[in-house]
Structures are given as structure tokens and as C-alpha cells.
Structure 1
Amino acid sequence: MEQGEEARCSDEETFTAEYKMMMTLGRGQFSEVKRAFHIPTVSWVAVKILRNQKKYASLIKSEINIMKSLTHPNIIKLFHVVQTRETTYLVMEHASEGDLLHHVLDLGHLEESKARRLFTQILHAVQYCHDNFIIHRDIKAENILLDHKGNAKLCDFGLSAKVIPGQRLGDFCGTLPYCAPELFGKEAYDGRATDIWSLGVLLFFMVTGRFPFSAYSDVRVIQQILDANFRVPPYVSVDIRDVILKLLIKNPYRRLTIGQIMRHPMVRNSEAHSPPTFPQSLPGTLSPGIVRAMTIMGYKSEEIIESLRDQKYNQVMATYLILQHQSPRGDASITRRNP
């Protein structure tokens, strides 16, 4: 057996020894997400399982690289990456309250105060992505998760793209009801503007419980999108209605930018009444308290430092990041949750 193959087998053995797989949370075209129990930290995590097929290799590589680069309190955090011959496992933060789609459908629609708070958190996540030249390209209610405190977490970067300043995109990407009009054209488009349109659809859905563009066939839906043919119900508040109308504009150059949305009264007023959130520490920022806890668990301080320094996303780094995530400020105040 070759050395590389031995390492992959060793990784998989360690992975299966440290995680107990439980129920399936969701399935995609070439992946599924399972709830799992991380035995060393006594914590729940989510594991995205991707099948290694040649046609998806570049997407898997891109998703891993993008997720490794993201550190934001409103974005699902990556803890551990294990790649074998047939499968890639991405171990991530588990959001215990499920996705926003089912949450809205269960309630019929969100109360506007709650919609404002969650939408503002989502905006912060998307702004962070855009500031780091990452286009999500599949913003939708299914890709917004809620944690145990009811905070929004943007997830699923499988279709995301890392761009250079001024770069335009040319391929069709996304989920039909959330797709911007320019995605159906032949010209290259600004990916940030398509994310903005999707945010408009998302806000509409949050406060009404339905989509602005819906018909009995995809062809009719596309035509509604191309015509920007929708109506905001009269019960929607003026400030929310104003944001929706300024996001769902056919001309992408006339849509609000993230910065302009953040300055809108709807968002400013929401932030004034929102509890503070603590920024996540960078993966390479060592906490003496967590290192001490891990040495008690049997880890060596040298391997902890090396794993974080080299950003290995191995089982050592995973344990550190999970313990760090359990502490609100990422410090030594570690509280383990029971299964």
C-alpha cells in the first residue's frame, strides 16, 4: 500500500472512531448531511458527506477552500476535513433549530421583528463574504440555519465562487425561485448583484410565507422573474416593503448594494435592538485554557500548536475548534453539552 493511501485509511479510521453518525439532516445532488456526535468533546456536529466523483472534484475543492477562509458568527463553521479515496467528510457546526425554510413554513410567516433581526444577521454574513470576494450563489431559506439561541447561520458553499475584484460570472447557478433575471441572459453578470436579488426573495418569503415568483411551470416562473412581476402584500410594513422593492429590481446596477442595505432604516433600527454578538476568534489564535483542557484529554501541546499553525483541519484542530466554539468568547470558559 502506498504511503498516501495509508494516510487516507488512517484518517478514516480515526474519523470513524471519533464520530458517531446519527440521523440524516438533508440530502443534495451528490452529498448528504448527517447529525453526528463528536466523542472527545461530547458535542453534536453536522457532517457533510460528499462522494468523490471527477465531475464534482473542482466544486468540492472550492467548497473546502472557501469554508476554511470564513470566520464569522453568522456563518456555519468548518471544524474538520477528512478525504478518502471515495468520500470527503466536512465536519461543521451543528445548528440545532434546523433551517429557516421549515421554520417559516411551520409558523406561516415570521413576525416582522424576528424577520428584521434574522435578515440583519444574514446581511452581515453576506457582507462578510462579499468583502472577501466570495459570492454565495445559492442564498435561500434552506441554506439559512438557526442555532440553539435562534441566530441565523449561512451555510452550504458548494456553489460559491471566489472572484477577483471586477470579475464577472457567466454560468447559471442557483435555485429557480431565487434566481436573478440576469442569470437567464447571455452576458456575464456581477455575482454580488445576484446574491442581492436572492436576499430580496428571501426577505419576501420570511414576512409572507410564500415566494414572490411562483407559477405552475418553470417557464412561467422565469417569465415572472424576467418581468420582475410580483406584488408585496399590503400588510407588510413600509420599511420592509421598501427594502424588498429596492432589491428585486430588474436592472442589477440599480439594486441596493450590501452597504446601502446596511444603512437602510429597517436594518439600522433592527441593529439598535439586537443583542451583541461576539466575533469568532481566528483558527490560529491560541487559547491557553483550551490548550490546557486538550492536554488533560491526552493531546500534546506541540501537536495542537502545529495543527493550528498549519491549518491542518485534522482531528486535533477539530477538537480545538469545537471546544473554542462551545465558549461564547472563544476563551477558556469551556462548557460541554450532553448529548
Structure 2
Amino acid sequence: MEQGREAHCSAEETFTADYKMMMTLGQGHFSEVKLAFHIPTVSCVAVKILRNKKKYASLIKSEISIMKSLAHPNIIKLFHVVQTRETTYLVMEHASEGDLLHHVLELGALEESEARRLFTQIVHALKYCHDNLIIHRDIKANNILLDHRGNAKLCDFGLSTKVIPGQKLGHFCGTLHYCAPELFGKEAYDGCATDIWSLGVLLFFMVTGRFPFNDYSSVGVKQQILTADFRVPQHVSVDIRDLILKLLIINPYRRLTIGQIMRHPMVKSSKAHLPPTSTQLSQVPQALALSRP
């Protein structure tokens, strides 16, 4: 017991010596993300700080396990995990241009060429997850970060889960405006299909600057979702409109799959330009980067 306590203290001392915490980048129910300076490599990283409460233990374990298994240019990379008795620190790649939510709100809406490029990168990231039987469960503009090259990075796997083929999920999970209608029912649902619906909401938001379901009350939003009560503005291009309509379908079995989205004209014609390994990543030593299974 004493040895375990000493190990935790040693880990925290090393962590404190190597990292200088700076501004807060984001905050959740039981975590916060801070910008930190990694002194040995003279580089910036993002550190997610999780409180080790018993009721969150399985979520923390799952998030670490899933992030360790991910290696894709459009998914935020996990470098290192430091666990102390009270706190878990996830040291991750820092995307310096912030999140997609604020980027869209600043501009009012994205130019369609930019929306196509970023959306295609997000689709590539989600396809990688689904191919590896990982359901994200919280696809939203806040969870898409932009790196210094302006490329999209999917992040925050705190609600994610790994499934076996054919497995259905059974409880409400996600952010209201992005939630698929089946999440409000009592029956088990296909997690992949709920991620697809969230993609449809995200694409609508990217090209219009607003949500398709946006009533004044949460009850009203839920009712709009359950009836798919939305209208795509006339200025949206035909192929983008077609994709949105094929993603925001009430029946989850009629929605496009991630593979079908990849073959849709809007995505096929996009110049996604998957980013090369960034300069920042190359500065992080092998000792810091996690070994892959």
C-alpha cells in the first residue's frame, strides 16, 4: 500500500516538473482540459485532467483504452497517461486553432468548399472508428478541433464505447441537439446509426451556422428531432442538401452507413487533404508517445 502511494507521488512530481500548466481550454462534468507546455521537448500539449471518483472509474478506463488504440491523422493523438491517487492526466496532441463550434460561429457559416473538406476529414476519422467497432457517441462541433494547418481532429472519447459486431446499445447518451430520435425510445439501438445522425446535424450546422432542431425549449427540440422537423435553406448546394437529407432520416436502418457516405458525390468530390504528421508530433520523444498494441 505504501509502495503504491509512493509511486503515485513520484509520478505526480515528475509530471509537475515536466509540464507547465497554462490556460483552460475546456471543461466537462468531471474533467477539464488545459494547455500545457512540455518543458523537455519545448512544445505545447493539451492535458485532460480527470478526477478519480469511483462512479467515473469505468468511464476513465474505457476512454484511456479506446484512445490508446487509435492512430489516425484526423483523431487527436494520446501521448501519455499519468495516474495519481486523486487525478488522471491524459497528455494529448494540442490543436492550436480551437474547436469547430467557435470557428463556425465566428464566420456565421463555412464556405461550402471548406465545409466539404473538413466534413470529409471527419468522415474519414469516424469511418476509422466504426471499422474498429468504436462508437463515438458525442459527435458535435465542440468535439472537432482544428490544428495549425486547419485540419479537423476528432476528440473527446469520454462517452465512447467499443462494441462487438451486431451489438446494440441501451441508454441515452450524447448532446441533445445532436441526438438521434431512437435515443429517446426504450428499445436498444445501433450506435453507428446514432453517430451518422450526429454527422447530419454537424454538416447542417457547418453550412448554415445554426442547428436543424433549435426550439426554445429542450422539449421542443426533442419533438422536432422525433419528427425530423427541419428545412435545409435554399442556398445550400444540391449534393450537400442530398447528403443531409439522407443522414437525418428517422428510421436508422434507412440512413446511410459510413461506407455509403464515403461514396456519396459530396464526399467523393471533396479534396480532403489528409494532414501529414505535424511538426509538433515529431518533437515529442518516443519515450512520451504511447506504444501501440
Aligned counterpart, 1:76: 76
Instruction: Give 3-state SS (helix, strand or coil) of 2:126's partner.
Output: helix
Determine the structure 1 residue equivalent to 2:226: 226
> Under a length normalisation based on structure 2, what TM-score does the superposition of the two structures give?
0.95
- In structure 1, what is the equivalent of residue 29 of structure 2? 29
What does residue 308 of structure 1 align with? none
Alpha-carbon separation, structure 2, partners of 1:37 and 1:104: 28
CA offset at residue 189 of structure 1? 0.2
Query: Which amino acid letter does the alignment assign opposite residue 35 of structure 2?
Result: R
Within 2, Cα distance between the matches of 1:47 and 1:181?
Answer: 34
Aligned to 2:267: 267
Amino acid at match of 1:103: H
* CA distance in 2: counterparts of 1:244 and 1:210, whole angstroms: 14
Q: What SS class does the counterpart of residue 317 from structure 1 fall into?
A: coil
The 8 Å contact of residues 63 and 160 in structure 2, kept in 1 or not, is answered as yes
- 5+ residue gaps, structure 2: none
3-state SS of paired residue (1:252): coil
Which residue of the partner structure matches residue 317 of structure 1? 288
Cα deviation, residue 2, structure 1: 1.4
After superposition, the Cα gap between the structure-2 partners of 1:71 and 1:39, relative to the gap in structure 1 and judged at 3 Å, is same
Contact 1:72 1:125 in 2 (8 A): yes
Give the % identical residues.
Answer: 81
Q: How many angstroms apart in 2 are the aligned matches of 1:200 and 1:128?
A: 18
Partner of 2:103, secondary structure, is: helix
Q: Which structure: larger Rg?
A: 1
SS at match of 2:127: helix
Match of 1:16 in 2: 16
Shift of residue 278, structure 1, vs aligned partner? 3.8
Question: What is residue 97 of structure 2 aligned with on the other side?
Answer: 97
Q: Quote the Cα distance in structure 2 between the aligned partners of 1:212 and 1:195.
A: 16
Correspondence list, 1:191-230, <5 A = 191-230=191-230
CA distance in 2, matches of 1:2, 1:64: 25
Give the letter for the 1:317 counterpart: L
Cα 1:240–1:159 change in 2 (3 A) is same
Pairwise CA RMSD = 1.8
Q: In 1, Cα distance between the equivalents of 2:274 and 2:35?
A: 28
Q: Distance in 1 between matches of 2:48 and 2:10?
A: 19
CA contact (8 A) 1:72 1:279 kept: no
SS in 2 for 1:194: helix
Shift of 1:277: 3.6
What stretches of structure 1 of length at least 5 have no aligned partner?
A: 281-288, 295-303, 305-315, 322-339
Shift in Å at residue 276 of structure 1? 4.9
Maintained 8 Å contact 1:36/1:47: yes
Who is 1:251 aligned against?
Answer: 251
What SS is found at the alignment partner of 2:41? coil
Secondary structure, counterpart of 1:207 in structure 2: helix
The 4+ residue runs of structure 1 with deviation greater than 2 A are: 273-280
Give me the whole-angstrom Cα distance separating, in 2, the residues matched to 1:278 and 1:37: 23
Q: Residues of 2 paired with 1:76 and 1:21: CA distance?
A: 19
- Offset of residue 203 of structure 1: 0.1
